[in-house]
Amino acid sequence: MSIDMKNACTSKTFIMKLTLSVSLALLVGVVGGMPKAMAQAADDKAVKTDKKIVPLLGEDTIDANQPIKSDFIVSVSVVGEPDPSGNYAVDQAGNVSIKYAGIMTPVSIKGLTPAQAADAIAKFLKTYVKSPQVTVSIVSVPRPIVFISGAVKNTGPVIIPQDTTLVDVLSRAEWTDIADLTQVRISRKSVVNGQDKTTVMVIKFDKYIKVGEGQTPDESQNPVLQDKDRIFIPFKSLPGSGVVSVGGEVTKPQQSIPLRTNPPMTVREVINLVGGTTSTANRKALSIRRPSVDRPLVIDLDKAEQGDLVNNIEIKPDDAVYVEKLENNAYINVNGGFVKTGKFVYDKRTTLTQAIMEASGPAPYAKLNEGKIFRHPDNDPKNTRVISFNWKEISKSKTPDIELLPGDSVWLTPGAAPTRPSTDIFTIMGAFSQGLYIYNNLTGRYFGGNGGVTR
C-alpha cells in the first residue's frame, strides 16, 4: 500500500471516529434531559385529591319543625329590615343575639319551634318596628360524631344520624383481615353526680356478624352508638407485641405499624414511617387517641421534630395517631413557573416575596412580568379578585411588595427554554471535507477545520 493511500485511510478513519463521538455526545445531551422533562410532566399530571375528614353516614336531612337547641344555626328574616336579618348561632343558654340599631340583644328561643321562635323575635322587635314580619328557619344542627381507630381501613371521626349502630359504622370503616372482632372496645363518657365518667364496653362483635346457619345474631353485641363514642378495633397480634395506626393527612396511612419498645418509638418516628405529612396537614394539631385516656393528646409536630420532649412523646400500644387537615383558608397556593409548587402554610403575615422565596424562586425561563394573585374575598369561591404583578419589578424594589391573605393562589406563567440550532452529522462531515469550523452547542467549543483540530 502506498503512503498516500495509507494517509487517506487514516484520515478517513479519524473522521469517522470523530463523527461517531460527536453524534454520541449530541445524543447523550438530548437523552440526558429526558428524565427530568418526563418527571416534570408526571408532576404536572399528578392531581392530589382532598380527603373528606368527617364522612357522613345516612342522609343529611334536617327536621324543619323541630325544637331549637343550643349550637343550632338559624336564619332570621325580617321584612324590610336588613339589620336584624341574617344567620345566628344559638348559644349554650339557648339565646340568639338579635342585632338592631348596632346593639346586640339576647332573645331566648331554646326549645321553641321555628314558628314559635319567629313570634318571640317579633315580640322583641315591636319595641323598634311596627308590626314586624319575622320568619325563622333552621340552617344547620350539631351532628353526633364518633371516632373510630384500630384495624380498619378508614379511621377518624364519623358523623352519625340517630339510631346508628356499631355495624353501620364498622361496615363503612371496613375492618381488615387482622381485626380482632372479639374484643371491640367502645369508650363512652357520661356525667354522674356532676362529674365526668368514662366507661369502656367490650363488644364481642363476631357474635353478631358471624352467625352460623339456623342461628340468630346477638343484638346485644351491636349497640346503638352515642355522640363522642370512641371505637377501637384491636389487631390480631402476638402476645407482648403491639401496633399503632396513623391516619389523616399523611402520605401513606397505615393501620398496623408494629410497635418497637426498645428503644421506644416516638411521634416523630411514626410520622416518618408513613412518609411524613401532606401539604394540607395541620401540623400544629396532631392528635393521639389512647384507650386509657379520656381526651386525645394534642401534639405540635413541628416542635416534636425539633426534639421537644413535651411534644415528641413515646407511642404506646393501640395508639391512634391522626393528622387533621388545615382549613381551606390556612394556606397559600403557589403554582406555575416556580421551582417548588404546592400549598404553603399561612401561619403568619406573608408577603409575595416571602411566598416566592418559600417556593425557591421562579423557575428558569418563567415569564416574570406575567404574575397573578387569585383571591376570594370572604372565602367565597364564586367571588374571585385577580391581582396582577411584575416580579421583575418587585424583586428590584421598583414596585411595592404585596401582602398575601390566607387562601390566595399565586401564579407565574411558565416559559419554554429557547431552542438552539442543531448540528447534524452530514453538516459535520461536510465541514471536515471543506476545512470549516462548526460550533458545538453542548460543549461551547468549535471543532473541525484542517486535520480535525478543535479550539
Domain ranges in the chain are 73-140, 145-233, 243-325, 331-412
Provide the pLDDT for residue 211. Answer: 78
Q: Tell me the CATH number for domain 331-412.
A: 3.10.560.10
Distances (CA, A) of 58 to 65, 158, 161, 299, 340: 20, 11, 6, 32, 41
How far is it, in rounded angstroms, from Cα 441 to Cα 339? 25
Span 69-88, mean pLDDT?
90
* Residue pair 332/350 in contact by the 8 Å Cβ criterion: yes
Span 297-319, mean pLDDT?
87
Length of the chain: 455
Position with higher pLDDT, 321 vs 429: 321
* Residue pair 72/92 in contact by the 8 Å Cβ criterion: no
Buried b (16+ CB within 10 A) or exposed e, 228-238: ebbbbbbbebe
Provide the pLDDT for residue 122. Answer: 93
Provide the pLDDT for residue 347. Answer: 66
* Residue pair 150/245 in contact by the 8 Å Cβ criterion: yes
Distances (CA, A) of 176 to 152, 221, 317: 5, 19, 18
Cell 397480634 -> residue: 237
Q: Residue 262: count other Cβ atoms within 10 Å of its Cβ.
A: 5
Cell of 285: 394539631
Position with higher pLDDT, 341 vs 61: 341
Provide the pLDDT for residue 329. Answer: 60
Burial classification of residue 1, based on how many CB atoms lie within 10 Å of its CB (0-12 exposed, 13-18 middle, 19 or more buried): exposed
pLDDT at 37 over 50: no
pLDDT at 417 over 90: no
The H or E element spanning position 121 is helix 114-125
Q: What is the 3-state secondary structure (H, E, C) of 221-256?
A: HCCECCCCCEEEECECCCCCCCEEEEEECECCCEEE
* Residue pair 283/345 in contact by the 8 Å Cβ criterion: yes
Output the pTM of the full model.
Answer: 0.41
Q: 153-200 pLDDT, tens per residue?
A: 888 888 888 889 999 999 888 888 888 899 899 999 887 887 888 888
* Residue pair 375/406 in contact by the 8 Å Cβ criterion: no
Q: For residue 287, which of 321, 256, 246 has the smallest C-alpha distance?
A: 321
pLDDT at 428 over 90: no
Provide the pLDDT for residue 430. Answer: 58
Provide the pLDDT for residue 440. Answer: 53
Q: Tell me the CATH number for domain 73-140.
A: 3.30.1950.10
3-state secondary structure of 32: helix
**Least confident span in 169-173, 233-237, 352-356, 394-398:** 233-237
Span 25-47, mean pLDDT?
36
Cell of 56: 357522613
Q: Are strands 254-258 and 243-248 parallel, antiparallel or unpaired?
A: antiparallel
Provide the pLDDT for residue 421. Answer: 57
**Dihedral angle sign, alpha carbons of residues 273, 274, 280, 281:** negative
Q: Are strands 409-412 and 331-336 parallel, antiparallel or unpaired?
A: parallel
Q: 111-124 pLDDT, tens per residue?
A: 999 999 999 999 99
Please spell the DSSP secondary structure of 47-111, one letter per residue: -PPPP-SS-B-S-----TTSPP-TT-EEEEEETT-TTT-EEEE--TTSEEEEEETTEEEEEE-TT
**145-233 with 331-412: one CATH topology?**
yes
Provide the pLDDT for residue 209. Answer: 87
Q: Tell me the CATH number for domain 145-233.
A: 3.10.560.10
Q: For residue 217, which of 152, 166, 162, 161 has the smallest C-alpha distance?
A: 166
Provide the pLDDT for residue 115. Answer: 94
Provide the pLDDT for residue 35. Answer: 35
Displacement of CA 88 from its chain's centroid (Å) = 30
Provide the pLDDT for residue 44. Answer: 35
Provide the pLDDT for residue 326. Answer: 75
* Residue pair 144/158 in contact by the 8 Å Cβ criterion: no
Provide the pLDDT for residue 109. Answer: 93
- CATH 3.40.50.10300: does it fit domain 243-325? no
Q: Backbone phi, then psi, for 365, in 5-degree steps? A: 70, 5
